[in-house]
Amino acid sequence: MENRPHIKLELAKADRFVEWLGWSLLFGMFVYAFDSINSLPETIPVHFDIKGQPDGYGSSLTLLGLPIIALILSIGMTILNKYPEIFNYTVKINEENAERQYRAATRLIRWIKVAIILTFGLIMILMNISAKNQNSESLLWVLPVILMISFVPIIIYLIVSSNDKKVKGNSIKKK
């Protein structure tokens, strides 16, 4: 692997906001899960088909699994964000573009972290609503929203990071 500059990035206000948003949503997931468990039956829908119909059932304690997994992923992504020089980039990293590329990549990771938390939160809400009224057909909007939440940050990152390709001598050469 090529030697890339190691730069300690200071968090901008936008970065601090996204970090705060992610951790706040994660805290909210735990509150929602603990609050919901007491009001749900012992067995709830835990898996849904493409039409939003439950096709798997399990314990209401399953709700706790989603925020726990989101917490583990969030911690891992937070640690990973401290080492942007190990990421893969669409451009060759040099002294001139390193800070800009690292900042864009770490912001992408932050937004992906928020997207994961939102996605897991929506799944928890779907499970809760489905368990309470046994009708999840009205929740068909969840899948398109999850897809949008997942792909919008990546598309924005690709647009932002590709601006460096326009700088002369900055494209990755194919062997």
pTM, 2 dp: 0.81
In a domain, 174, yes or no: no
> Tokens 């924005």 correspond to what residue?
156
**Calpha distance 106→11 (Å, rounded):** 10
Predicted confidence (pLDDT) per residue in 1-55, tens digit: 578 888 899 999 999 999 999 999 999 999 999 998 888 888 888 887 777 677 8
- Sign for the CA dihedral angle at 40, 67, 55, 125 comes to positive
The range of the structural domain enclosing residue 150 comes to 13-166
In a domain, 5, yes or no: no
Q: What is the pLDDT of residue 133?
A: 75
Predicted confidence (pLDDT) per residue in 62-82, tens digit: 889 999 999 999 999 999 999
In a domain, 171, yes or no: no
End-to-end CA distance of the chain: 15
Beta partners for 57? 45
What amino acid occupies position 55?
A: D
Q: What is the pLDDT of residue 171?
A: 45
In a domain, 80, yes or no: yes
In a domain, 4, yes or no: no
**Calpha distance 75→89 (Å, rounded):** 22
Number of H helices, E strands in the chain: 4, 2
Classify residue 14 as exposed, middle or buried by CB count within 10 Å of its CB (0-12, 13-18, 19+): exposed
In a domain, 86, yes or no: yes
For every residue of 115-149, DSSP letters joined together read HHHHHHHHHHHHHHHHHHHS--GGGTTHHHHHHHH
Which residues touch 29 (CB under 8 Å, ≥6 apart)?
66, 67, 70, 117, 120, 121, 124
How many domains are there within the chain?
1
Residue closest to 106 by CA, chosen among 85, 122, 125, 123 = 85
Predicted confidence (pLDDT) per residue in 85-132, tens digit: 999 888 888 888 899 999 999 999 999 999 999 999 988 888 888 788
**Calpha distance 57→122 (Å, rounded):** 17
In a domain, 114, yes or no: yes
Three-class SS of residue 44? strand
In a domain, 77, yes or no: yes
